[in-house]
Structure 1
Amino acid sequence: MLSSVHSTWVVVAIALLISAVPKSANAQTPPQTPPQNLNPSANPLQFPTKPQEVQIQTTVPLSLAQALELARRNNRNLQVTILELERSRSALRESQAALFPTLDINGSVTNSGNGFSSSTSQPSTSFNGTAQLNYNLYTSGSRQAIIKQAEEQLRIDELDVENQSREIELNIKTQYYNLQQADEQVRINQSAVANAQASLRDAQARERAGVGTRFDVLQAQVNLANAQQDLTNSLSDQQIARRQFGTLLSLPQTVDITAADTVALAGLWQPSLEQTIVEAFQNRPELRQQIAQRNISEQQRRQALAQVRPQVGLVTSYNLLDRFNDSASITDGYSIGLQASVNLFDGGAANARAAQARSNIAIAETQFANQRDQIRFNVEQYYAQLRSNLDNVQTSSVGLEQAREALNIARIRYQAGVGTQTEVIEAENDLTRAEGNRVTAILDYNRALANLQRAVSARASR
């Protein structure tokens, strides 16, 4: 039964996906590569000091695909995360240096004599050189634990880059849909103003012909004033949405953007709820990060215990001595030996550090469980929103067609003298609400789809 309902939902979604595409969507798709003039200044410390340096000089239409590419290229938070990843790679290379021996070479040239007041012997000059090689043969697991800890930290930072990329993608999609909604609200309110102006002209014409009343004209004027006020507010919201989106993309100071894509369903999500939950558990980087954090704490525990266990090292050296201007030849020598040590008593510090690490392991395991439950809730939440918003798209599409027909009938009735101005105004307002409801339903569906993709860590629509 569940699979049958799911299949029906997918069929309805496909039909709505086709019907929701506006006629203008058949136009040529903008290129996916964003324009080069949208790159921010190469100097992150740029500080404009003149009004013309922050004055908007051009408005560039951007598709969602272009905005995503621009965000991956320019987003500063992502750049910081990538730099942290490079830092972890260097830290891993540093820890891996313990796998190799260390080699030190020292040399000195010395001139010595009996002093300025004595000339019983000539001063002499000598050269002394030493080469020493050290290698830790046995560290009770400390060396391996340090390397493993660095590897796990690198894994966490790699997952952090992935997680940050997904989060940026979600933010870009959400803000782009907000920008689309602001643009559509301007268009809807402009249409409402045009309708209100037409109603006012009809009322004034009927008043001049003697078949209308002053009340009808005043009512139409009030309706027009309200529509103009709504348009003014929506224009302000549109400008705010553009600047907010530009900030998210790190755009240059003199560039503004607008949405190039038409409002339409962004795609379909075909897996069932249960399949989606399992996929989220498998893909979410946060769960793997908790596992890596648990492994780090385990390696820290091993390092702490290794401090009170035996340590064995190999020490070899080679010495070279040459006294100049004497009859003796160069003398040299070497030594090789093992050094062993064990810390018999440290006051319990090592065991205390190991106990702290065990607590961190338990914390990581608990956080893993919390994260898992939160992921499931997010999937269920956005899945339910996706389905309800898809139903709203269908309902609002029908309501929009009915509102258009009702307005036409109301105007015909009013012009024929059998209807009232109030009916026309109510029909105009109903049409405005119906257009807004349909745009909101489509964009709410797209937002729910973007959130669901983020919850499952999926990059593309299914």
Structure 2
Amino acid sequence: MALKTKGNLAGRIACALALSAAIGLFAAPVSAETVKLSLADSVQMALANNRTIKQSLADVDAAHEQLHAANRSAGPLLTWDWTGSRVGGKVKELNPTPYKDTYENKATLSMALFDPTINAQRKEARYGLNAADLTLEQTKQTIRLTATTDYFNILQARNMVQVREETVATLAKHLDDVNAQFRAGTVARADVLASEVELANAQQALTSAKNDYAVAVATLNNVIGLPTDTTLETSDEMRYTVYDLALSDCTDYGLVYRADAAAAHYTVKQAEAAVEQASAANLPTLNAAATRSIAGEHAFKNSMRDKDMWTLGLSATWRIFDNEATTAQIREAKAKLRKAEEALAATNERIRLDVHTAYLNLRAAEQNIDTTEKAVKQAEEDYNIARVRYNAGVGTNLEVMRASDNLTTARTNYATALYNYNMSKAALDNAMGVPVDLDAMQYRRVIDHGKRARAAREAAVLHEDAVLETPKGAQVRPAEPAPTAEEAAASIERVRAANAAYEMTMAK
């Protein structure tokens, strides 16, 4: 099944609003409604509503503000100091003044002219924002895979319900034939009993399949931001579409496009900047400052001429010896750098493994589709022959039930092969880093040419309305309303009564 990930924010929001309105998402109490949903709808809803993505957006916002703070720390700083005091005791007697109280005001405008620590902090913050941008893209790819997987789980569960329903219908028809022959006196009672047991087992399997379907629906609802009790009507079918690409091409693509590898690359850059920042403590700093001071007997009065002054000057600081505290900090930063480098290498190795595994699974499932499809036709023919032989009195009931089991197994294997193929294709897309909103390769190219995050985003974004930061005015989507105190109390009483009845029965 082709996975369509492109689109714009307007489409996602429209989809989200339409589905939310259809189920009364923000109404209380929430009631279960039926919502028609395609794979594309599921992915769009997940990208628009998933809380993990919103957390990653908040991480980008925080990294952006951290960079903003680091950039601003290199600019001028204006401070105001105010003091108020009263002097008494023998000092007052020895140095009499006409002032009972003294108030001083001092304004200082300062700016760092040379401070390598600030430069390293700015570089570290820039790389931190780059890593956050790419981590957001990786999160979106992961959520796309999760939504796709959960959607395919629904399709597979629906197919399994259909297989089990066909098995129940087949065995029920066979039981009717056995009963007819038993009434005619041509078969023994044992055939009836065996057929009834086989039908009961099939009905139990059908019940389990329906439960698996309900769980799959609830799981997808959680991922795409719908109430868990929403009933979904899927519009896609599990099918086979040829995907002709060599493993080497998939691997090369993944090594270039995987967003988590790019994020790990900038985490290394960030750690390198942290080493620079720690080493900067061994270098001198140079600052310029201008001050203006006044004092008087009132809070803001300039009545003491000996305190009325201004200064303009430079100051340099060089920490010559700090008992090797800076050396320890440099070693700590280098250790963290090694950790980041190992993480980058591990990420690249994991990319190769992820792509290799998904590709092999895809090819294995592809081969199984052909063999299992043939097996279904053969099993159907075998079952029909077994039924004809039994009804003609030349076959046994055991042969019919064995043929029925084989037919159910063949249908299950075919549905599973289609499921595995589509799941492997989605996993391969994720392993290769097929982008959602941001082209990681283009992003890295722009940053490596000395540009900033804004320019990299503009060059790498795949559509105009991609969400790369939390929209202004965005609010946290409310969760499903909690029960009222009365509803909770009633539920608690019912749970206690049910548990007591269960324990009483178990004790007998």
Shorter-normalised TM range: 0.7 to 0.9
8 Å CA contact retained: 2:373, 2:414 = yes
CA RMSD of aligned residues (A): 3.4
1:162 equivalent among 126, 131, 137: 137
Aligned position for 1:406: 382
CA pair 345-209 structure 1, distance change in 2 beyond 3 A: same
User: Is 2:183 aligned against 1:208?
Assistant: yes
Aligned amino acid, residue 336 of structure 2: N
8 Å CA contact retained: 2:149, 2:423 = yes
Q: Which moved further from structure 2: 358-367 or 436-445?
A: 358-367
8 Å CA contact retained: 1:242, 1:258 = no
Aligned position for 1:272: 246
Aligned amino acid, residue 72 of structure 1: L
Q: Which moved further from structure 2: 344-353 or 280-289?
A: 280-289
Q: Which moved further from structure 2: 239-248 or 183-192?
A: 239-248
Aligned position for 1:3: none
CA pair 39-146 structure 1, distance change in 2 beyond 3 A: farther
Output one character per residue of 1:34-80: Cα deviation in whole Å (capped at 9) or x when no partner: 6124789669xxxx9xxxx57x6323342221111111122111111
Aligned position for 1:361: 337
User: Is 2:266 aligned against 1:282?
Assistant: no
CA pair 135-168 structure 1, distance change in 2 beyond 3 A: same
Aligned position for 2:121: 146
Aligned amino acid, residue 113 of structure 2: L
Q: Which moved further from structure 2: 142-151 or 424-433?
A: 424-433
TM alignment of 1:43-442, pairs within 5 A: 53=29, 57-105=32-80, 130-139=106-115, 141-252=116-227, 254-265=229-240, 267-319=241-293, 334-442=310-418
User: Is 2:19 aligned against 1:35?
Assistant: yes
1:290 CA drift (Å): 2.4
Aligned-partner Cα distance in 1 for 2:364–2:302:
99
CA pair 454-396 structure 1, distance change in 2 beyond 3 A: same
Aligned-partner Cα distance in 1 for 2:247–2:229:
45
Aligned-partner Cα distance in 1 for 2:36–2:359:
31
Query: Where does the alignment leave 5 or more consecutive residues of structure 1 unmatched?
Result: 1-16, 19-30, 113-120
Aligned amino acid, residue 440 of structure 1: T
CA pair 326-408 structure 1, distance change in 2 beyond 3 A: closer
Aligned position for 1:454: 430
Q: What TM-score does the superposition give when structure 2 sets the normalisation length?
A: 0.73
1:180 CA drift (Å): 1.6
Report the secondary structure of 1:99's partner residue: coil
Output one character per residue of 1:148-168: Cα deviation in whole Å (capped at 9) or x when no partner: 111111112112111111111
8 Å CA contact retained: 2:60, 2:133 = yes
Output one character per residue of 1:12-50: Cα deviation in whole Å (capped at 9) or x when no partner: xxxxx89xxxxxxxxxxxx9666124789669xxxx9xx
Aligned-partner Cα distance in 2 for 1:286–1:40:
37
Aligned-partner Cα distance in 2 for 1:236–1:400:
25
Query: Where does the alignment leave 5 or more consecutive residues of structure 2 unmatched?
Result: 3-13, 88-96, 437-508
1:229 CA drift (Å): 1.5
CA pair 84-212 structure 1, distance change in 2 beyond 3 A: same
8 Å CA contact retained: 2:284, 2:317 = yes
Aligned-partner Cα distance in 2 for 1:204–1:397:
33
CA pair 227-42 structure 1, distance change in 2 beyond 3 A: closer
Aligned amino acid, residue 188 of structure 2: T
Report the secondary structure of 2:434's partner residue: coil
Aligned amino acid, residue 373 of structure 1: E
Aligned position for 1:116: none
Aligned-partner Cα distance in 2 for 1:63–1:92:
40
Aligned amino acid, residue 407 of structure 1: Y
1:194 CA drift (Å): 0.6
Aligned-partner Cα distance in 2 for 1:42–1:92:
36
Output one character per residue of 1:350-380: Cα deviation in whole Å (capped at 9) or x when no partner: 1111112222222222222222122111111
8 Å CA contact retained: 2:23, 2:35 = no
Output one character per residue of 1:399-448: Cα deviation in whole Å (capped at 9) or x when no partner: 11222222223333333333333332222222211111111000011111
Aligned-partner Cα distance in 2 for 1:98–1:268:
56
Q: What TM-score does the superposition give when structure 1 sets the normalisation length?
A: 0.80
Output one character per residue of 1:62-112: Cα deviation in whole Å (capped at 9) or x when no partner: 222111111112211111111111011111100000231112356799999
8 Å CA contact retained: 1:189, 1:234 = yes
Aligned-partner Cα distance in 2 for 1:199–1:68:
43
Aligned-partner Cα distance in 2 for 1:377–1:94:
40
Aligned-partner Cα distance in 2 for 1:254–1:233:
18
Q: Which moved further from structure 2: 304-313 or 252-261?
A: 252-261
Aligned-partner Cα distance in 2 for 1:273–1:147:
41
Q: Which moved further from structure 2: 99-108 or 63-72?
A: 99-108
Report the secondary structure of 1:134's partner residue: strand
8 Å CA contact retained: 1:287, 1:372 = yes
CA pair 328-192 structure 1, distance change in 2 beyond 3 A: closer
1:328 CA drift (Å): 12
Aligned-partner Cα distance in 2 for 1:244–1:222:
33
Aligned-partner Cα distance in 1 for 2:171–2:36:
30
Identity of paired residues, percent? 27
CA pair 370-39 structure 1, distance change in 2 beyond 3 A: farther
Q: Which moved further from structure 2: 404-413 or 273-282?
A: 404-413
